[in-house]
Structure 1
Amino acid sequence: MPVPIFAPEGIMNLFSGLSAFPITPCNEAGEVDVEALQRLVERLVHAGVDSTGLLGSTGSYPYLARAERRLAIEAAVEITRGRVPLLVGVGALRTDDAVALAQDARTAGADALLLAPVSYIPLLEDEVFAHFTTVAAATDLPLCVYNNPATTGLTFSPALLGRLSRVPNIRAAKNPAAAPDEMAALHDRLKGATAADFSLGYSGDWHATEALIAGGTTWYSVAAGLFPEPCMRIARAVQAGEYEQARRLNAELEPLWALFRRYSSYRVIHAAAQLIGVTDARPPQPILPLPAEVHAEVAQVIARLGLE
């Protein structure tokens, strides 16, 4: 019987439930719009998300200078402190840079770290292990492994995740969800390889419902970073064991998931944030805003789903 999204014994609440990842609004010079970011984060806290994920891929972390990352964390902490845990991305090409970013996040008030194996030269598994253990040892914050092969080119094997799951401070993984008919088998493989108290969560919004039903502890969500309420309804339905209700609610969001698959969730969520008036920030160049006709398509889906 699948175990719905509850944290394994000993895991902090920030590694269970719905983790919402907002964009990081910036101007063309890459400077963080603090007021817009705080508006976005306040929406998430008000909606009751289980954690907020700052400076993930949706939050444009590779495009931001160290000082802007620190500013974004400080701005978010003003909203989240004492209300909802804050998970902060600290990925960087160099290990020493990732260590510095982790220490910045700790000083600024983050509750946990998210680390992707950013690379130019493809990394070997022993190199990944050394990178993660070094960053994990740099602070006392719990660290989540960011397994994102679409951007890093590296897929964490069950064996590598198993090694990392037994390192102090490395407490969770954010994995890409598999197709529904493959999800249960994937989760079982990862669960069998990792420590009993290691949190296995998933991203990829259109497959996340089945990932949670299969036993995933956390949904790391792009959509929830702007539209937390419908995603909360899905997560809470799974927690209550109401799997068919969760599937029905997920199916209602299929027009949004289709846009994510077609144009990328990153581009679509930036357009959606503009359309609902939260921020007029554009993606950082060389990424271009969606063409006008696609922007109109996003507007139609938002209106149809009542997400304005």
Structure 2
Amino acid sequence: MAFLSGLSAFPITPADRDGRVDTVALRRLIARLGDAQVDSIGLLGSTGTYIFLSREERRRALAETLEETAGRMPVVVGVGALRTDEAVRLAQDAKALGAAAGLLAAASYTPLTDDEVFEHFSTVARESGLPIIVYDNPGTTHFHFTPALVNRLAKVGGIVAIKNPTNKSDAIKSHLADQRRTLPEGFSIGYSGDWNAAEAMIAGADTWYSVLAGILPEACMMIVRAAQQGDAAEARRIDATLSPLWSLFQEFSSLRVVYALAELLDICRADPPRPILPLPAAAKDRVAAALECLPSDASR
């Protein structure tokens, strides 16, 4: 089995306007994921707004999460930063606190070259000693990992997995087959992009890195378990019940929608970090309507 597999749930990081993490609300979210027995927690991903938080607040969030999970499941934590030295320190913090792995994106204001990204990732892996997951997130970073760069990084000691984006569901199977053929055995291959992730798991991906699972873990767990058991029809059936939310994710961004879901489910009330604004009232009403239409086993 790969180092990381199954469902990795990515919750929001509730915080006030000054960027101070609401640890009570965060622990409530993490407890919900523990109750659902997700395979891992993805703390401080893009949905967890890692890039907006200070090093101190990231440490607080991770420490609270690790205390809440008490070793029941691995915690993957975002360690991305604009500077390599900052990313190294964040990864060292994560390792010292007990994270299972660090999720690292090619975040930059200035467009990066493949060689610059290779050196950035290699340095963080080498100097932190924390297992690193390559976070390919071109929608946010505008950097595209080529197959050649992924192959180079997969040969670096300490780089153990990749979180791929999904765009076209009909291309996932061939993309996964190409990576399986060229990447080392045991290198974990996973996908994000919730509306296409069921197809990725059916195709045999190791991991679904899920935004929705951070707030509605049960439905996502059912999709993953059905796919793992070879029941593609059941995985697709459950996935279809979530299509109203997938449409909202694509229209408004998954980040804004899950903040609204957290409020509607009375889990916590928090706004995304500025300059990101919460959904307007009309859009929130649409999220509430989509939530009402979900079957009972998909709305927990």
Q: TM-score range by the shorter chain?
A: over 0.9
CA distance in 2, matches of 1:30, 1:83: 28
- For 2:256, what is the secondary structure of its paired residue? helix
- 1:43-192 equivalence runs, <5 A: 43-192=32-181
1:214 alignment counterpart: 203
Runs ≥4 residues deviating over 4 A: none
Task: Indicate if the aligned counterparts of 1:25 and 1:37 stay in contact, CA closer than 8 A.
Answer: yes
Normalised TM-score (structure 1):
0.94
Q: 1:107 Cα shift?
A: 1.6
Q: State the Cα deviation string for residues 164-191 of structure 1 (Å, max 9, x = none).
A: 1111110000000232211111112222
1:26 alignment partner, one of 4, 15, 23: 15
Q: Which amino acid aligns with 2:264?
A: L
> Contact 2:189/2:207 (CA < 8 Å) preserved in 1?
yes
Alignment of 1:9-20 (within 5 A): 11-12=2-3, 15-20=4-9
2 CA distance for matches of 1:199 and 1:109? 20
Give 1:247 shift.
0.7
Cα distance, 1:213 vs structure 2? 1.4
Do residues 197 (structure 1) and 186 (structure 2) align?
Answer: yes
Unpaired segments ≥5 residues, structure 1: 1-6
Seq. identity, %: 53
SS of the residue 2:128 aligns to: coil
- CA distance in 1: counterparts of 2:213 and 2:135, whole angstroms: 18
Q: Indicate which of 279, 291, 298 corresponds to 1:302.
A: 291
The letter of the residue matching 1:57 is S
Deviation at 1:138, TM superposition (A): 2.0
Please state whether the residue corresponding to 1:115 is helix, strand or coil: strand
**Matches of 2:143 and 2:219, distance apart in 1:** 31
Deviations 1:89-130 (A, max 9, x none): 000000000000001111222111110010111111011010
Equivalent position SS for 1:301: helix
- Partner Cα separation in structure 2 for residue 221 and residue 69 of structure 1: 20
- The residue aligned with 1:42 is 31
Which deviates further from its counterpart, 54-63 or 105-114?
105-114
Instruction: After TM superposition, give the deviation of residue 243 of structure 1 in Å.
Output: 0.7
1:242 matches 2:241? no
| Secondary structure class of the residue paired with 2:177 | helix
1:3 maps to what in 2?
A: none
Root-mean-square deviation (CA), in Å? 1.0
1:15-39 alpha-carbon deviations (Å, 9 max, x no partner): 1000000000001111000010000
Instruction: Give, in whole Å, the separation in 2 of the partners of 1:206 and 1:246.
Output: 12
Q: What is the alpha-carbon distance in structure 2 between the residues aligned to residue 19 and residue 289 of structure 1?
A: 25
Rounded Cα–Cα distance in structure 2 between residues aligned with 1:45 and 1:143: 23
C-alpha distance in 1 between matches for 2:72 and 2:106: 30
Structure 2 unaligned blocks of 5 or more: none
SS of residue paired to 1:138? helix
1:81 CA drift (Å): 2.7
How many residue pairs match? The answer is: 297
Give the letter aligned to residue 179 of structure 1.
Answer: K
Residue 261 of structure 1, aligned match among 244, 250, 260: 250
**What amino acid does structure 2 have at the position aligned with 1:119?**
S
Q: Deviations over 1:145-179 (max 9, x none)?
A: 00000001111111111111111110000000232
Q: For 1:126 and 1:80, how far apart are their aligned partners in 2? A: 37
Tell whether the 8 Å contact from 1:51 to 1:85 is kept in structure 2 after alignment: yes
Q: Distance in 1 between matches of 2:120 and 2:266?
A: 40
Displacement, 1:263? 0.6
Residues 178 and 211, structure 1, Cα contact 8 Å, conserved in 2: no
